[in-house]
């Protein structure tokens, strides 16, 4: 129970990596705010945490909406008295299409959720974190940082590269307040994020490269699990990583090294 007495907030906590992180932090003793847009999903995450003996607060909010995000963080701090850990996980793949086919509104939607959402998470969280310090973990990706072969994913990779830049910038800015800022960069993970991907004209943007069989070396090609990423998030949230900040940590089984 190394996080006993600490309070965490996880965005995109209704499924996948966000849900796994919320459950993992709660199991380590943290009181957890589970934030997301789909109430039924975050309710299920909260029920799982409570069923295991933990404490959870359901926070329905759109990460791209300033008022909703500010209200969610204020409500969490009012309910639990503090904020120590933030996991900025909410994100979408959005539309992947050739650049001359990708519509401005499609580009803007990916930017709004992935990048504006990350900014607003920091914007709302930092006033609370400054009171005693803490840890922020941003869920980025190997895409945009190690890998650039996802067909048509211009908006997506732009947001993922920008997230790592934000992490490194804010690690310096917030260090004097005792706030550590790091990123996890997953590779292929068995989640449902592909359900919110729209792929158009893939053959126009696909790069004709053949990868070796089993291109995730550590697993022989099998995708990782949300739990694999959640374990690293727990490490970054805890005092075990007290001297780690501004670091992108790749959780991809070596996949990005082949691409």
Query: With the CA atoms of 77, 247, 231 and 224 taken in that order, what torsion angle do they form, in degrees rounded to the nearest 10?
Result: 130
CB 116 within 8 Å of CB 64? yes
Q: How many CB atoms lie within 10 A of CB 223?
A: 16
Of the candidates 94, 72, 91, 92, which has an alpha carbon nearest to the alpha carbon of residue 83? 72
Checking if the pLDDT of 194 tops 60, the result is no
186 DSSP β-pair partners: 251
- Domain 7-258: state its class: alpha beta
Element (H, E) at 45: helix 39-51
Question: Could you tell me the pLDDT band of residue 192, with boundaries at 50, 70 and 90?
Answer: low
Which residues belong to the active site? 156
Q: pLDDT value at position 183?
A: 98
**Secondary structure letter of residue 37 according to DSSP:** S
Q: What value does the mean pLDDT of the chain take?
A: 93
pLDDT digits (tens, 9 = 90+) for 28-81: 999 999 999 999 999 999 999 999 999 999 999 999 999 999 999 999 999 999
Q: pLDDT value at position 137?
A: 98
Return left, alpha or beta for 15; rule: phi > 0 is left, psi -120 to 50 is alpha, else beta: beta
DSSP alpha helix (H) spans, 143-195: 154-175
Q: Which residues of 175-193 are buried (b: 16+ CB within 10 A; e: fewer)?
A: eeeebbbbbbbbbbbebeb
pLDDT digits (tens, 9 = 90+) for 102-128: 999 999 999 999 999 999 999 999 999
Helix (H, G, I), strand (E, B) or coil at 111: helix
Sequence spans of domains, the chain: 7-258
pLDDT digits (tens, 9 = 90+) for 216-239: 877 777 888 999 999 999 999 999
């Amino acid at each position: 129970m190394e996080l006993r007495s600490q309070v965490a907030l996880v965005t995109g906590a209704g499924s996948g990596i966000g849900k796994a992180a919320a459950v993992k932090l709660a199991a380590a003793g943290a009181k957890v705010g589970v934030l997301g847009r789909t109430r039924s999903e975050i309710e299920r995450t909260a029920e799982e945490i409570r069923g295991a003996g933990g404490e959870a607060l359901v926070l329905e909010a759109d990460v791209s909406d300033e008022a909703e995000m500010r209200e969610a963080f204020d409500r969490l701090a009012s309910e639990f008295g503090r904020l120590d850990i933030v996991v900025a996980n909410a994100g979408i793949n959005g539309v992947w299409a050739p650049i001359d086919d990708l519509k401005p509104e499609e580009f803007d939607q990916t930017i709004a959720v992935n990048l504006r959402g990350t900014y607003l998470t920091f914007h709302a969280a930092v006033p609370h974190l400054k009171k005693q310090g803490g840890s922020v973990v941003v869920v980025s990706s190997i895409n945009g940082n190690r890998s650039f072969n996802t067909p048509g994913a211009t908006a997506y990779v732009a947001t993922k590269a920008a997230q790592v830049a934000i992490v490194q910038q804010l690690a310096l800015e917030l260090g004097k307040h005792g706030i550590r800022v790091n990123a996890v960069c997953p590779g292929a993970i068995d989640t449902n994020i592909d359900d919110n991907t729209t792929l158009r004209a893939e053959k126009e943007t696909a790069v004709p490269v053949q990868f070796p069989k089993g291109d995730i070396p550590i697993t022989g090609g099998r995708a990782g699990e949300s739990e694999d990423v959640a374990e690293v998030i727990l490490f970054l949230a805890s005092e075990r990583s007290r001297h780690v900040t501004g670091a992108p940590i790749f959780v991809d089984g070596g996949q990005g090294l082949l691409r």
